[in-house]
Amino acid sequence: MPVNSKTQTASRRARVGALILAMFMTSTSVMADQRCADPGDQSHFEVTALKTELMVIALTCEERDRYNAFIQRYQPTLVEVNRGFTNYFNRALGRAGQRQLDIYITALANSRQQGAQVLGSDFCPRNRILFEEVAALNSPADLAAYAAGKDLVPVGLGACVSGPAAPIRQASRSSR
């Protein structure tokens, strides 16, 4: 069976994504299963995981219009969550905050995408309902509670760090 360049590129991207995720999960194993001491910070992790899950569903299941409707409806809330999430990483990790935020977001998306791949053809039928559920919320103020109930923050990524960036910085030093 011939392999075209698109197949090779997709395969290469999948391998690189898996490698990045594995490296990130290894470097943050201390963070696994952690919850944030501050409920606001925890909420930022949960809403970000929900948004990422909806993005993966949109791309995998051809639900871009529904994702765009979600973004439009919850835009002020999502902007505030993004601001709080960025502030958390900058506060917890200092100068490395933005870089580690980018790494976390990438690892989160890769984790959710790998979950979709594991479910295969069951993924879309099982997960499209999330769009209906978020559309049925009474107000944007209900989004955080909804996200908390979905438990979408991957165990391997955790939420919050216990100290100022120790797990991530140690991994950076060891990779040199």
Q: How far is CA 62 from CA 54, 56, 112, 133, in A?
A: 11, 10, 16, 18
Q: What is the pLDDT of residues 71-89, one digit of tens each?
A: 999 999 999 999 999 999 9
| Highest mean pLDDT, choosing among 31-40, 116-125, 141-150 | 141-150
Distance CA 140, CA 30 (A): 33
What range does the domain containing 66 cover?
5-154+163-174
Number of domains in the chain: 1
pTM, full prediction:
0.72
Give which of 17, 26, 16 is closest to 172, Cα–Cα.
Answer: 26
Which H or E element spans position 98? helix 97-119
CA angle at 78 for the pair 76 and 81, rounded to the nearest 5°: 110
Give the pLDDT of residue 161: 66
pLDDT of residue 158: 82
More confident residue, 33 or 73: 73
What's the mean pLDDT when you consider all of the chain? 79
Per-residue pLDDT of 139-166, as tens digits, reads 999 999 999 999 899 888 888 864 433 3
Do residues 31 and 158 touch, judged by C-beta distance below 8 A?
Answer: yes
